[in-house]
């Protein structure tokens, strides 16, 4: 299992670095990279114009079939708009939304995230 993420301001990148798991960062200048293994997508919350490269990545070659879930970061002050990018991806690509964190996540978020990910049965995904 691999972590694939997109970061705009660095908050998502800081969260992913804390995870110390194999990860790939989607580059806005070239989102057309193929992933050959199951991956979990982590995205920040921004307007679709900013996160459109994430959709380009998902839809490139066989990436969509390897996507098994999504997690989102954001600001809880935005109430219903908290992690809406992750919610949209979950709905549009019919994958579970498995985790949410605020800003770059706390140490507790990191531990909870790792537990949630370890509870997934990856054998079903291959």
Q: What does the pLDDT profile of the chain (126 residues) look like in tens digits?
A: 799 999 999 999 999 999 999 999 999 999 999 999 999 999 999 887 889 999 999 999 999 999 999 999 999 888 888 999 999 999 999 999 999 999 999 999 999 999 988 887 554 554
> Quick one: pLDDT at residue 119?
80
pTM given for the model? 0.91
* Phi, psi (degrees; rounded to nearest 5) at 3: -100, 130
Do residues 72 and 44 touch, judged by C-beta distance below 8 A?
A: yes
Q: What proportions of the chain, in percent to the nearest 5, are helix, strand and coil?
A: 45, 20, 35
> Quick one: pLDDT at residue 124?
52
Find where tokens 């549009």 sit: 92
**Domain over 2-106 is classified CATH 3.60.21.10:** no
Domain boundaries, the chain: 2-106
Helix (H) or strand (E) holding 42: strand 39-43
> Quick one: pLDDT at residue 79?
84
* Closest among 118, 82, 106, 117 to 15, alpha carbons compared: 106
């Amino acid at each position: 299992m691999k972590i694939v993420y997109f970061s705009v301001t660095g908050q998502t990148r800081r969260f992913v670095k804390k995870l110390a798991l194999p990860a790939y960062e989607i580059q806005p200048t070239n989102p057309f990279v193929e992933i050959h293994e199951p991956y979990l997508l982590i995205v920040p919350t921004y307007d679709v114009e900013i996160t459109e490269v994430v959709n380009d990545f998902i839809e490139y070659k066989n990436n969509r079939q390897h996507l098994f879930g999504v997690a989102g970061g954001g600001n809880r002050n935005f109430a219903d708009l908290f992690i809406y990018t992750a919610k949209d991806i979950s709905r549009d690509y019919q994958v579970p939304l498995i985790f949410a964190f605020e800003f770059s996540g706390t140490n507790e978020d990191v531990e909870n995230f790792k537990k949630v990910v370890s509870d997934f049965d990856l054998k079903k995904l291959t």
